[in-house]
Amino acid sequence: MKIEFIDKKLEDINSDLELIVVIDKNFDHDFVKSYKDVLQEANFSGEQDEVMLLAESKKLFVGSESLKSKDIRPAVASAIRVALDKKYASIKMATYLSHQKCTATMRALAEGAILGAYRYDRYKSKSKEPKLKELYISSQEYNSKEVDKSAIKRAINKGVETARAVNFTRDIVNTPPDDFYPKIMARVAKDIAKSEGLEYEVLTKKEIAHEKMNALLSVARASSHAPRVIHLSYKPKNPKAVVSLIGKGLTYDSGGLSLKPSDFMVTMKSDKSGGSAVLGILQAVSRLKLPIEVHGFIGAVENMIGGNAYKPDDVLRAKNGTTIEVRNTDAEGRLVLADVLCYAQEKVEANYIIDIATLTGACVVGVGQYTVGVMGNNQKIVDKMLYAANVASGEMATNLPFNRYLKKTLKSSIADICNISNTRYGGAITAGLFLEHFIKDENKQKWIHLDIAGPAFVEHAWGENPSGASGAGVRMVTRFIEKLASNEHHISE
Ligand code: BES
Ligand code: ZN
Ligand code: ZN
């Protein structure tokens, strides 16, 4: 879908439909009051994300609790999702501002529209193109506020680019595992490197072995698809900071010999969500031309079973020499990340190191399906990430705090560390603490870990997200990086 900002009054714009966001539940606003009776008769109460189409009047109403981004974004997405299946080719709406000088609402509105228009129907034989192609945004403001047109255009553009990067990530994650394995991940990475002008490097199995990334190789061993380690970099001139992103790219996680029960294996094509988010973030930062150097590292691996599979009881030696006792082959993401984290730290001296992974079911149990778990040693960076998520991007995130007692639960009697903890409690945190083991001392305060196991893939639509892949992590990390660009002091405190 295309979004066009038009410097005309709403009534002077021709379109098939008009979208009205209802903030005032009494329906007394000028845009709404003449439809008050019809809306009430139709039982429309203006709740958040509630949509009502009045086909005869060519009006589409959606409820939003406020003009805040976190409400407008899902409201607009929900409305667009309803309109997408109808006969309308174009839709128009007003400009909405919460304050005269704040364009955040407009960015959220644009994001909501592009995110709501997302569809994954590549595998439907009779997929029908949605008719809806254009959203026109009038410069007429909802409460007759004066508008700064160029600021609004910029905000819309940022929203569009960010949301496109999210949709790009959703497409990757939704692709079935037989059509998306490590080699394909590397190909997609190469494609965006070409189109965005990024530097690109990929390690094949031989080169991975040469780098002594034996934990990753063990996880990959039983698969017929060889692993890849991917490194993309976006290097603007005079960057204000350097960020390394490390993504878990398990193109499939069967659990390995500690095989997942059938019901838990379904949806494990989404175990590549962290790596896919890294690709989306790189696309976003380069399109937004942010003055931050960003490196993306992805461990692309398939975790399978077979005669040569790695086993519970094996002891692996990671790239940094740490020996790991394997007690569960389904805790494979941390093994892959251990090596890729070591590699990333060797390759790039970054101010911020952020890993993104669908790491644990425990995180989903703890905070629910819709929320990202954020962990790290540096509370300031954790808090910055939580702000970027919850306030700026509309992704929900919460902190899961480390502690020294949980750290002890990863002790192994025969190796340096065990890949699972000896307690069944706190599994998201112990997984984060396992990763911390592979962060160099000088980087311990620069690193944070994002567990996106819940929100990355949800099998129903929620807010601005469709059923299936959501593109979790892309918006919040992009916002985090944007914020670094606007801060003078970039060195991690
Ligand atoms: N990929 C899974 C985690 C996961 C679970 C992602 C649910 C998305 C939804 C991960 O590799 C895994 O299997 N983790 C195990 C760890 C356990 C064996 C310590 C888990 O969470 O059960
Ligand atoms: Zn697993
Ligand atoms: Zn996994």
- Whether 253 is in the pocket of ligand 1, judged by its Cβ within 6 Å, is yes
Q: Quick one: pLDDT at residue 490?
A: 38
Q: Which residue has the tokens 């999210």?
A: 166
- Whether 436 is in the pocket of ligand 1, judged by its Cβ within 6 Å, is no
- Whether 230 is in the pocket of ligand 1, judged by its Cβ within 6 Å, is no
**What's the average model confidence in pLDDT over 338-346?**
99
**pLDDT for 121 beyond 60:** yes
**Token pair of 142, please?**
């909802």
- Structural contact between residues 92 and 13, judged by C-beta atoms closer than 8 angstroms: yes
**What's the average model confidence in pLDDT over 473-486?**
97
- Whether 116 is in the pocket of ligand 1, judged by its Cβ within 6 Å, is no
Cα(331) to centroid(ligand 2), Å:
5
Ligand nearest to the Cα of 250, by number: 3
Q: Percentage of the chain with pLDDT > 70? A: 99
Q: Which residues lie across from 199 on neighbouring strands? A: 233
**Token pair of 217, please?**
């190789």
Residues 445-471: tens digit of each pLDDT: 999 999 999 999 999 999 999 999 999
Q: Quick one: pLDDT at residue 128?
A: 81
| Per-residue pLDDT band at 23 (split at 50, 70, 90) | very high
Quickly count: other Cβ atoms within 10 Å of residue 28's Cβ.
9
Q: Is the pTM higher than 0.85? A: yes
- Under 8 Å CB-to-CB from 113, ≥6 apart: which residues? 1, 3, 76, 77, 80, 135, 163
**Token pair of 413, please?**
């009697």
SS3 at position 412 = coil
H or E stretch including 342?
Answer: helix 333-347
Alpha helices (runs of H) in 88-131, residue ranges in sequence order: 104-116
- Whether 421 is in the pocket of ligand 1, judged by its Cβ within 6 Å, is no
Q: Quick one: pLDDT at residue 65?
A: 97
**What's the average model confidence in pLDDT over 316-331?**
98
Ligand 1, atom 17: closest residue by C-alpha = 331
Ligand 1, atom 5: closest residue by C-alpha = 361
**What's the average model confidence in pLDDT over 271-297?**
98
**What's the average model confidence in pLDDT over 429-458?**
98
**Angle CA 22–116–83, to nearest 5:** 65
Instruction: Identify the burial level of 199 via C-beta atoms within 10 angstroms of its C-beta, where 0-12 means exposed, 13-18 middle and 19 or more buried.
Output: exposed
Q: Quick one: pLDDT at residue 127?
A: 77
Cα(302) to centroid(ligand 2), Å:
10
Question: Closest by alpha carbon to 57, among 23, 30, 78, 34?
Answer: 34
**pLDDT for 98 beyond 90:** yes
- Under 8 Å CB-to-CB from 441, ≥6 apart: which residues? none
- Whether 420 is in the pocket of ligand 1, judged by its Cβ within 6 Å, is yes
- Least confident window among 43-47, 127-131, 140-144, 218-222: 127-131
Q: Quick one: pLDDT at residue 492?
A: 33
**Token pair of 136, please?**
């026109």
Cα(446) to centroid(ligand 3), Å:
24
| Ligand 1 pocket, mutate which of 273, 330, 459 (most atoms under 8 A from CB) | 330
H or E stretch including 94?
Answer: strand 90-95
Please identify every residue annotated as catalytic.
Answer: 260, 334
- Under 8 Å CB-to-CB from 159, ≥6 apart: which residues? 106, 107, 108, 109, 110, 111, 114
The atom of ligand 1 lying closest to the CA of 271 is 1
C-alpha dihedral sign at 262, 460, 284, 488: negative
Q: Quick one: pLDDT at residue 491?
A: 37
| Ligand 1 pocket, mutate which of 257, 260, 360 (most atoms under 8 A from CB) | 360
| Per-residue pLDDT band at 85 (split at 50, 70, 90) | confident
Question: Closest by alpha carbon to 244, among 349, 391, 93, 389?
Answer: 349
- Whether 355 is in the pocket of ligand 1, judged by its Cβ within 6 Å, is no
Cα(259) to centroid(ligand 2), Å:
9
- Whether 71 is in the pocket of ligand 1, judged by its Cβ within 6 Å, is no
H or E stretch including 195?
Answer: helix 182-196
SS3 at position 104 = helix
Ligand 1, atom 13: closest residue by C-alpha = 330
